[in-house]
Amino acid sequence: MTVKSQGALFPQPRGEQETLPLPDGEQDQIDPLDAPQHFADATSYEVRDKLVDYIRRDLLGPWEGEYEEFPPKAMGPRERYLVGMLGPKPNPNSGAPQDAVDVDAVAEGHPVEGDLPEINTPQSLGRMWASSMGLSFAVPHDVDVLSVTAEWGQYSKVPIPTDDGRTRSVWRRAPVSFQKDIRLDDHPSFRVPLTADTPDEPGVHLAVEVRPRDGRRVVEIALVNAQEEPQTATDTAWLFQTRLTVTALDGAAAIFLPIDDPLDDPHVDDADLEDAHLRLLYRGHLRYANGRNVAVHAHVRDGQRRAYKLETTWLPTYDVPATVAPVGADSPLDGIELSMDALATADVTQLRAGLGPLADRYLGWIADRRAEIPRLPAHLQGAATSAVMAALDIGRRIRAGIELLTNPDAPRHAEALDAFRFANRAMALQRRHTEIGRLRDQEDLSYSEARRRVEAMGAKVASWRPFQLAFVLLNLPALTDPAHPERSTDPDKGLVDLLFFPTGGGKTEAYLGLIAYTLAIRRLQGVVGTGADARSGTAGVAVLMRYTLRLLTAQQFQRAAALICAAEVLRREDEDTWGSEPFRIGLWVGSAVSPNWYDDAEAQIAEARDSGDGDRTTVLHILTCPWCGSTLRGHHDLEPNPDTRRIHLWCPNAEGQDACPFSRTRSAEGLPILTVDEEIYRLAPSLVIATVDKLAQLPWKGYAGILFGRVRQRCPRHGYRHDDLDAKTGCTGRHNKKGRLEAVTSLPVIRLRPPDLIIQDELHLITGALGTTVGLFEAAVDQLCTWRTPDGTETGPKIVASTATTKRAREQVLAVFGRQLAMFPPPVLDVADTFFSRQVPVSPQHPGRRYLGVCAHGVRLKAAEIRLAEILLLAGQTLFDQYGKPADPYMTLVGYFNATRELAGMRRYLDDDVATRVRTHGRRKGMSDRLIGGTQLLTIQELTSRISSADISEVLKALELGFDPELDTSARRRAILRHLQQARKSTSTSKARASSSTLHPLAKRSRARETEGRLPVDAVLATSMLQVGVDVSRFGLMLVVGQPKNTAEYIQASSRVGRDPRRPGLVVTLYNWTRPRDLAHFEDFEHYHATFYRQVEALSVTPYTRRALDRGTAGMFVAAVRQSEEEFSRNTDAQTVPLTGKRVGGITARLLTRAEAISGERGRDYLEERITTIRDQWEKKKTNEAGRLSYDHATSKTERLVNLLERPGGGEWSALTVAQSMRETENEINLLLPSKDEIRRPLHDPPQWSFDTPVITETTDEDLPDGDELGESTLVGKHR
C-alpha cells in the first residue's frame, strides 16, 4: 500500500499524517496511536531547501503565488510580510512630523544603536521605512547602455462576493514589471519614470548616477518609491517583493567588472606580506556590486571573471563549501597507512612504506605549486614564494618525523618508535571506547552490544585523517629531544605550531595524539640529567592543556579522559615499561566549577547522598564512564576517603566479564580523574586541563609549583608535599598504620620535568584585555617551564595551538608565547586546496553550510525576532510532519546573541509572543502548529554564563536528544493528548492519574520522557559560550541576532550547526538595520560569506604597554620568583627572598629579554621600571612592617604575619595589587541602591516627560485576523 498522492502542497492543512485506507467499518475501530504514519522520502539536504522556501515565502512573499488573495479578515501586506517593501513619501497629514527620520539617513551613519524605542514616537508607530533600494557596480568605459528590469508586487483592495450576497474587500496582488534601457553617456545623474509621465511627478522611478573612474564607468541604480501616501488604504502605495535586474543590452554579455580584482590591481603594500597572501588565496572570490539597503547576487559563468547579470535580493543566501580531509582512491593520499591499529604494530619497513609517501607526495605537490608562481601577476609572486617556502619547511619537518621512526641510526629512534606505537594503541582505544559511549548513550545499548557494533566497524573507527597524522609526525622530533631548537626559549628560535583547520574538522584528535606520545616518551626517558639539573619524567604533569571558557573545558574533558583511561589500561598491562605511577587527568579550573579542597568535595558528596541526587555535585564533571559508557551518578559513584584525602570515582559497571577496568572490582582507585584542586596539587596528574584564569593562582599559592615539577618530598599516602599544603591537609613526614593502610614515611624525590607539551586551544580567544593579561603572565609560565638539559641547553615545552579563525597570528603568537609561528596546514596559492584539506563543491554528499540574511527595514528588532522565530518553528514542525527524521536537525532552533540582555529579551518572547503564535498561526497558513493545547510551552534551554557549571554536561547531553517521529508529529501529539485526557476521565478517582497499565505504549513513552526530563529542546539560546567547544551533531538551524562583534566569533558560533554532513546546516542572520555595521554586512552578504575567513579581524595582544604592566607586572613577577625555588615558595618565604641575589637577578634578566623581543626597547624599559618599583616596595615591606612578611594574608600562632600582596578591591590599585583572575584588571564598581521601595520614590523636581504605561486588552483567538503577523500593529490607523 502506498501513500495517497499529494495534489496540493498541504493536503492536510493542519499537518496531520495520512494513514492507510481501511475497509469500511474498520476506520472507527483503530486507535489513532496505532495508525501507521507515512513520510515522504527526502534527505536533510532536500529538507533544508524546503525550509528556505518557507522562509522566503513567509517573510518576502508572495505566499500564495503571483496573484495571491488574502483572506477577508487579514490585515494589509505590510503586516503580512517582513522584508522587500518600499514605502511612499510620508503624508504630512497622516500623523508623522515633518522632521521624521528617514531610514536611509540612519543607514548612512546616524548614531542609532540598538532597537527602536518602545515608547510611542513616530518611529515606533511605523514612520521609519525604506523608500529606495538599489545597487552600484562598474562596467567598461565603452559600455554605454544597460538593460534594467524593475519588478514588484502591487496590492490593492478588491471587492469579492460573500455567501450572503454582499461584497467584502480583500487584498489582492498584481505583479508589476518594467524594462528600461538606460544610457550611460548622456547625463551623470538622472531619473527614469516608471509609473509617471515625467521624472518630477510623484510615482515610482529609477534614479541613475554615472561616474567615470580609472577607465571605467561606476553606475548606481536605485528603485525609488516617490508616490504620495494616500489618506486611507496606505498599503496600496507600497511596493512589495521589489527586485532590480541589470544586464547588458543583449542580456548575455559579461560586462560587469569585479571590484578590486587581485589579479589586476598592483597597488599592494609590499611590506604587508600577509595581506598580499590573502589577496592571492582569495583571488577567485570576487565582488561585482554593492547593495543599497538590499543585497546583490551576481551571475558569473564558470571560468570567467566578469558577471553577466546582477540581481538584487532581500533574502540573500550563500553556501559555504565544506572543507574536507581528502582520503581514498581519488585523493593524492591514497595508500598512506592511516590505521591506528596498523601503525601500532608496524615495524620499521612497514612504517617507511606506509608513511614515506605522505612526505614525498606533499613535497611533490609543493613543487607543482612552485612551478605555478611564474604564471601569477608580478605583484603576487613575492607572497606566493614566501608561502611555498613555509610549506617546504613543513614538508621537511614531516619527513624528519618519519625519519626518526624509520631510521634505526637516528638519535632516540628506539624511544620514539615505542612511544609512537603506544600513542597509536592509546588513540585506537580512545576512539573505539568513545564510540561505544556514544552508541550506548544515543541508542541505549548494552556495553557488549555497543562493543560488537564498534568492532564491526573495523579500522574505520580508529583511523587518522591525513592532516592529523602529519601534524603528529612533524612534532615528533621536538617532543622526543628535550634540547630540540623548536623548544628553545630564544624568541627567534622557539616555535609554536598552530593547527589551522575549520571547526569540526578533527583538530582535537590531532593534539590528543600528541598528548599520548608525550605521555609515553617521558616515561621511556625516565630521569634526564644529574645532580641539581636532574629531572624525572616518571611522574608529574606532562601536558598542560589550556582553554578560555569553562564550557569548552568541560566538553573537551570527556574526550581527553577517554584517552587517559586508554593510556592507563596500557600502563597496567606493562608496568615495567610505563612505570608504576598511574596516568591521570586533572581538571584545574575555578572554585565555582570544581571544589578547591577535599573537605568541600566530601561535604558535597554527603549532601548529594542525603538528597539522593548528585546533579549539584561539582566534583563530577562527566556523566558517563569514558571507557565503557555507563552512567555515572555523583551520589552513588563518588566515594571520599578521609584517610588518603582522595575522592574516588568508580564506574558502576563492576560485574561480569564486561566489568569496567575502573570499577571497584577491577581497580584500586577508580577512574583516573581528578577534579579537586588539592588532589591535583598532591598527585600532579599527567594531563592537566585548565582555564587560563587558573594560572593567576601562581603568585598566591606556592604549592601550585608542583604542577611545574618543583617537588621535594612525596608521601606514599597523600602524594607530593609542600609546607603550605601540609597545613591544609594535615600530612606529616610519617603516618602510622591505619586499617588497611600501611605505615609510611615521606621520601625525597628527584625534581620532576615541567610540562613537555603546552596546548592552547582556540587561540583566537586569547585577544583583547584577556590576551594581553595572558601574554604578560605567560612570561612567568615560560620561566617555570624552563630547565637545563644535560648538554647545558636551556629548553622549554613544545607549544602547539589550534584555531579555525586567525589573522596576524604571527604577531599574536610572539606577544603571547614569545615564539615564532608555523601554521599547519599552511595555505599556499589557493584557499581551497592545502593538500591536507580541500574545499569541495556543494552537493548532497558535501552540503556545506548555508547562510541566509534577513534585514527588516523599518521594523523593530523585537518584532522581527518574533516573526522569524515563528516561521522557523512552524516550518520545522511542518517539515517534520511531512518527512520525519530528516527534518529533525531543523526542529531545534539555536539562537545566538551578542549580549545576555538581548538573549533575555528573546527568552521572554519565546515564552510569550512566539508561543502564542505557534499555537494557531500554523493552521492559518496551511502549516502545522508547533504547540498543541493552550497551556503547552516551548522547551527552551540556555547556554550562557547563567548556567551553573554543574549543569553544563547535563545540558549538552540533553541537546543530543532528537525529536521522535513516533511521538512528535502534530498528529501524534494530538492523539497522545486526547488519549491521556480520555484515560484520566476513565480513572475511578478524579485525583488519581491514569494507570500506566491502561495507557497506550506511545503515551507511556511520552509521559516517561516528560517525567524524566528528556523532552527534546525546541530552542537553545546562547551567547559567546556557544562559539567554541560545543559539538552537538544534530544541530542544523541557527538564528544569529545581529552581526557579532567580530568575524571570528561569527564563524565559530555559526559553525556549531551542520557539523554532520548528513544534517546540513542553515544559519539565518537577522541584521539590525539601525546599525550601520549590520547594514553594511547585509548589503555585501554574498561576498562577505564567500571570504569571511579572510575578513577575520586582526587580534590585539599588547602585554608590554604601560597600562598592562601597571596591572599585571606584580602577579607575573611574584609568580616567577616564588615558584622558581622551593625555598621561595612557602607563604612566609616572602620575608627571606633575596631580591638582589643571583636567582632573582637571572629571572629579571630573562623577563626583560622577553619584553624586548616582543615590544622592543620601550617595552623592556617599561617592564624594568615596574619591576624596580615592585622590588623596592617588597624590600621596604620586609624591613618596615611590624611582623614577618608573607605573600598572602594568614595567621600564625608564633608571630604576626603581614601580607605582601593585595587583592583588588575598592581602594587604589597599587604596585603590589595582584589579581586572582586573568580577567580581573580593573576595580569593581559597587552600586548602592536604596532599600525596599525607596528607589521608586518620586524625584525632586522631575522632568516633565514620563514613560506611559500601555493599555493591554485581552483578545480572543477568534478576534485575531488571519495573517496578523506582527501581533499588535505598529502602523498608524491599524490598532486593534
Gap between the Cα atoms of 1106 and 628, Å rounded: 53
Confidence of residue 1210 (pLDDT cuts 50, 70, 90): low
What would the pLDDT profile of 704-723 be if each residue is shown by its tens digit? 999 999 999 999 999 999 99
Q: What is the mean pLDDT of residues 1110-1116?
A: 93
Residues 653, 642 contacting (CB under 8 angstroms): no
pLDDT of 96 reads 43
What would the pLDDT profile of 628-651 be if each residue is shown by its tens digit? 999 999 889 999 999 999 999 999
101 & 245 share domain = yes
* CB-CB neighbours of 1157 under 10 Å: 16
Gap between the Cα atoms of 815 and 1159, Å rounded: 8
Quick check: 18 pLDDT over 90?
no
All three cell numbers of 367 = 613543487
Lowest mean pLDDT among 657-661, 848-852, 1024-1028: 1024-1028
pLDDT of 330 reads 77
Q: Which neighbouring-strand residues pair with 895? A: 1021, 1039
923 & 1062 share domain = yes
1114 & 975 share domain = no
Q: What is the mean pLDDT of residues 1203-1222?
A: 87
387 & 444 share domain = yes
Residues 546, 759 contacting (CB under 8 angstroms): yes
Confidence of residue 444 (pLDDT cuts 50, 70, 90): confident
Nearest Cα to 1057, choosing from 1041, 1080, 1039? 1039
User: Over pLDDT 90: what percentage of the chain?
Assistant: 68
Does the predicted TM-score (pTM) go above 0.75?
Answer: yes
Gap between the Cα atoms of 56 and 314, Å rounded: 9
Gap between the Cα atoms of 465 and 452, Å rounded: 24
Q: Specify the higher pLDDT residue, 112 or 884.
A: 884
Gap between the Cα atoms of 173 and 153, Å rounded: 6
Residues 312, 243 contacting (CB under 8 angstroms): yes
Quick check: 1250 pLDDT over 80?
no
Q: Is residue 172 domain-resident?
A: yes
**Residue 498 sits in which domain range?**
340-504+528-547+691-711+749-824
pLDDT of 270 reads 55
455 & 381 share domain = yes
Kindly calculate the radius of gyration of the chain based on its CA atoms and give it in whole angstroms: 34
Q: How many CA atoms lie within 13 A of 1169 on its CB side?
A: 12
Q: Last residue of some domain: 1049, 1072, 1095? A: 1072
Confidence of residue 953 (pLDDT cuts 50, 70, 90): confident
How many domains does one find in the chain? 4
Q: Is residue 1168 domain-resident?
A: yes
Nearest Cα to 718, choosing from 691, 747, 675, 752? 747
What would the pLDDT profile of 379-426 be if each residue is shown by its tens digit? 999 999 999 999 999 999 999 999 999 999 999 999 999 999 999 999
Q: Is residue 1280 domain-resident?
A: no
Q: What is the mean pLDDT of residues 182-198?
A: 93
pLDDT of 931 reads 93
Q: What is the mean pLDDT of residues 299-326?
A: 94
pLDDT of 1032 reads 84
Gap between the Cα atoms of 919 and 21, Å rounded: 29
Q: Last residue of some domain: 1181, 1203, 1225? A: 1203
Cα separations (Å) of 307 from 248, 325, 684? 10, 32, 62
Collapsing DSSP states into helix, strand and coil, what is residue 786? coil
The CATH number that applies at residue 956 is: 3.40.50.300
Q: Is residue 520 domain-resident?
A: no
What would the pLDDT profile of 760-784 be if each residue is shown by its tens digit? 988 888 888 888 999 999 999 999 9
1052 & 982 share domain = yes
131 & 180 share domain = yes
Tallying the residues shown for the chain, one arrives at 1280
pLDDT of 943 reads 86
767 & 885 share domain = no
Question: Does an H or E element contain 1122, and which?
Answer: helix 1106-1122
Residues 658, 555 contacting (CB under 8 angstroms): no
User: Exposed, middle or buried, 463 (CB in 10 Å: 0-12/13-18/19+)?
Assistant: buried
Q: Is residue 681 domain-resident?
A: no
926 & 1039 share domain = yes
Quick check: 244 pLDDT over 50?
yes
What would the pLDDT profile of 45-54 be if each residue is shown by its tens digit? 999 999 999 9
1174 & 1048 share domain = no
Confidence of residue 249 (pLDDT cuts 50, 70, 90): very high
Q: Label each residue of 901-923 as H, E or C.
A: HHHHHHHHHHHHHHHHHHHHHHH
306 & 364 share domain = no
Greatest CA separation for the chain: 108
Collapsing DSSP states into helix, strand and coil, what is residue 555? helix
Residues 878, 887 contacting (CB under 8 angstroms): no
All three cell numbers of 108 = 548612512
Q: Specify the higher pLDDT residue, 991 or 84.
A: 84
All three cell numbers of 902 = 538581548
Collapsing DSSP states into helix, strand and coil, what is residue 178? strand
All three cell numbers of 766 = 586569547
Q: Is residue 380 domain-resident?
A: yes
Quick check: 8 pLDDT over 60?
no
What would the pLDDT profile of 1137-1175 be if each residue is shown by its tens digit? 999 999 999 999 999 999 999 999 999 999 999 999 999
Q: Is residue 796 domain-resident?
A: yes
Residues 779, 699 contacting (CB under 8 angstroms): no
Confidence of residue 121 (pLDDT cuts 50, 70, 90): very low
Confidence of residue 1084 (pLDDT cuts 50, 70, 90): very high
Q: Last residue of some domain: 779, 797, 824? A: 824
231 & 158 share domain = yes
Nearest Cα to 848, choosing from 1043, 1087, 1059? 1059
Q: Is residue 845 domain-resident?
A: no
What would the pLDDT profile of 585-615 be if each residue is shown by its tens digit? 999 987 777 889 999 999 999 998 988 876 6
Pairing of strands 240-247, 307-313: antiparallel
